Structure 1
Amino acid sequence: MKRTDIGQFVAARLRENLDSACRQWRENAPVHHFFIDDVLPQELAMEIRRGFPEASTMMLRKSLRELKYVSAQMNEHAPILEEAIFAFQEPEVVDLVAQITQLNALCPDEHLYAGGISMMGRGHFLNPHLDNSHDKDRQRYRVLNLLYYVSPDWRAENGGNLEVWPNGPKAGPVTIVSKFNRLAVMITNQHSWHSVSPNLSDEARCCVSNYYFSDHPAGNAGYFHPTSFRGRPQQPVRDVVLRADATARGLVRKVFPKGVVVNKQVYHKEDEE
Structure 2
Amino acid sequence: MIDRKKIALLICERLLMEQEMLRVNYINTRDSIGFFYIDNLLPVAIATAIAESFPTSSEMKLKKSLKEDKYISAQMDKHSEILEEVLYAFQDPQVVNLIAEICELQDIYPDEKLYAGGLSLMEKNQFLSPHLDNSHDKERQRWRVLNLLYYVTPEWKIEYGGNLEVWPNGLKAPQVTIESKFNRLAVMATHNDSLHSVSKVLVDKNRCCVSNYYFSDEPLKSSDTFHVTSFRGWPQEKIKDLVLRTDNFLRQTLRKFFKKGIVENPHYYKKE
- Interval containing the TM-score (normalised by the shorter chain): over 0.9
Tell me the distance in 2 between the aligned counterparts of 1:216 and 1:105: 9
The residue number in structure 1 matching 2:207 is 205
TM-score by length of 1: 0.98
Deviates more, 1:220-229 or 1:233-242: 220-229
Deviations 1:30-63 (CA, angstroms, capped at 9, x unpaired)? 1000000000000100000111111111000000
The residue number in structure 1 matching 2:5 is 4
Verify: 1:123 aligned to 2:122, yes or no: no
The residue number in structure 1 matching 2:156 is 154
**Residue 148 of structure 1: how far off its partner (Å):** 0.2
The residue number in structure 2 matching 1:236 is 238
**Residue 222 of structure 1: how far off its partner (Å):** 4.6
Q: Where do residues 101-180 of structure 1 align in structure 2 (5 Å cutoff)? A: 101-180=103-182
Amino acid at match of 1:267: Y
Unaligned runs of 5+ in 1: none
Amino acid at match of 1:3: R
Verify: 1:65 aligned to 2:67, yes or no: yes
Closer, same or farther: CA 34–224 of 1 in aligned 2, 3 Å: same
Tell me the number of residue pairs that the alignment of Structure 1 and Structure 2 aligns.
270
Deviations 1:178-206 (CA, angstroms, capped at 9, x unpaired)? 00000000000000000000001111000
| Among candidates 41, 44, 49, match of residue 42 of structure 1 | 44
Amino acid at match of 1:50: E
Tell me the distance in 1 between the aligned counterparts of 2:29 and 2:163: 17
Verify: 1:92 aligned to 2:94, yes or no: yes
Closer, same or farther: CA 222–28 of 1 in aligned 2, 3 Å: closer
Whether contact under 8 Å (1:171, 1:233) holds in the other structure is no
Amino acid at match of 2:154: P
**Residue 236 of structure 1: how far off its partner (Å):** 0.5
Deviations 1:198-225 (CA, angstroms, capped at 9, x unpaired)? 0011110000000000001111245110
Verify: 1:78 aligned to 2:74, yes or no: no
Tell me the distance in 2 between the aligned counterparts of 1:64 and 1:264: 19
**Residue 163 of structure 1: how far off its partner (Å):** 0.4
Tell me the distance in 1 between the aligned counterparts of 2:250 and 2:172: 21
Q: State the SS of the aligned residue for 2:150.
A: strand
Whether contact under 8 Å (2:119, 2:210) holds in the other structure is yes
Deviates more, 1:217-226 or 1:86-95: 217-226
Deviations 1:10-49 (CA, angstroms, capped at 9, x unpaired)? 0111111101100110112310000000000001000001
**Residue 171 of structure 1: how far off its partner (Å):** 2.2
Amino acid at match of 1:42: V
**Residue 139 of structure 1: how far off its partner (Å):** 0.2
The residue number in structure 2 matching 1:267 is 269
Whether contact under 8 Å (2:192, 2:224) holds in the other structure is no
Tell me the distance in 1 between the aligned counterparts of 2:197 and 2:64: 15
The residue number in structure 2 matching 1:27 is 28
Whether contact under 8 Å (1:170, 1:232) holds in the other structure is no
Deviates more, 1:106-115 or 1:22-31: 22-31
Tell me the distance in 2 between the aligned counterparts of 1:61 and 1:168: 25
Tell me the distance in 1 between the aligned counterparts of 2:104 and 2:221: 11
Tell me the distance in 2 between the aligned counterparts of 1:24 and 1:146: 15
Whether contact under 8 Å (1:26, 1:32) holds in the other structure is yes
Deviation beyond 2 Å, 4+ runs, structure 1: none
Amino acid at match of 1:185: V
RMSD between aligned alpha carbons?
0.8
TM-score by length of 2: 0.98
Tell me the distance in 2 between the aligned counterparts of 1:205 and 1:137: 30
**Residue 129 of structure 1: how far off its partner (Å):** 0.2
